Structure 1
């Protein structure tokens, strides 16, 4: 009897989610009665607002919501996301430039699949969310870590990015507020990085899922608001999980140039 053909080497090489692994351990300890406070998953400490729950319950009574929907998302939802993107990120887009995904993690995956080719190098400021390098690897790209420690408030500089850039660099990951450090780039820092990416023709994948969770008067300025000309080479990923405490609802999205969204 011949042996079975092997499973996918690409998928087998992907590491288990460190976030979910630690979160599962914390929940197991809590279930055992241990007084554990978990900082693993990005889980708000408040419930999904009641007006959202009520609207969902009402929608369940409408049979049209049981049918197949457009792959890119409900038109009314894409319109709402376009309006939210203008309000919070300062970027005006058509609903056709919005793709609704099964949570924010899928939008991150699809963003890299859209702009990364085999062998491309992706600049990844560190510390970072553990999903990023795995999603880059699935797109057959190479993550290049650019570390910024506490002495820099965990924020990379243009000088560091330029030192890491090679002729294979095609993408920069930009996250402000940062996951996991919480650092927020100033408008000036954001603009400087955006102008650098624009100058070198580098795509930016900017994860804005924490953009509404800022404190003490801080405002997370979107990189496309700081440098509007960069919109043609930027994909914004976002979702409802953090702002509205809807982590289990699995609603995310990506916004970008029309040609890129056709591929996504």
Structure 2
């Protein structure tokens, strides 16, 4: 008897299909023209060579081969605060006013009505 394919956990088994699966299946089945998914980084081309070379060099650095802190590296938060403070006309606090996320979906998930 063949083994059963993996099943979802009981807590999610009754949920409907997720939006990304629907979009990806729709894009694959598009009869007229390809649908460009700009939400998940599905590129149809390679990045420029200078980016590929920089990525190869980064792989040789131990500090680049690990997860970053989930709330962002302090140096990045400070750089963003310094860059955006002039645009806001005041000094931004990198610890309380700069939020780093692991993507747009996480960022949107943290927002509430009237957030900027």
Q: Is TM > 0.5 for Structure 1 vs Structure 2? A: yes
Q: Quick check: 1:16 aligned with 2:13?
A: no
**Aligned counterparts of 2:69 and 2:76: Cα–Cα separation in 1:** 11
SS at match of 1:73: coil
> RMSD value over aligned CA atoms?
3.7
Cα 1:38–1:69 change in 2 (3 A) is closer
Larger proportion of strand: 1
Within 2, Cα distance between the matches of 1:53 and 1:86? 32
| 1:42 partnered with 2:38 | yes
Aligned position for 1:75: 74
> CA offset at residue 106 of structure 1?
0.7
Identify unmatched segments of 5+ residues in structure 1: 1-5, 113-170, 172-203, 206-233, 235-264
Secondary structure of 2:106's match? Answer: helix
Distance 2:47 2:92 in 1: 28
| Greater Rg over alpha carbons, structure | 2
Match of 2:61 in 1: 62
Shift in CA distance, 71/64, structure 1 to aligned 2, threshold 3 Å = same
**Partner in structure 2 of residue 29 of structure 1:** 29
CA distance in 2, matches of 1:79, 1:49: 29
Deviations 1:56-97 (A, max 9, x none): 32221111223453331122322343345457xx23523323
| Partner residue, 1:93 | 92
- Secondary structure (helix, strand or coil) at the match of 1:64 reads helix
CA distance in 1: counterparts of 2:108 and 2:59, whole angstroms: 29
Inter-CA distance 111–101: structure 2 relative to 1 (3 Å threshold):
same
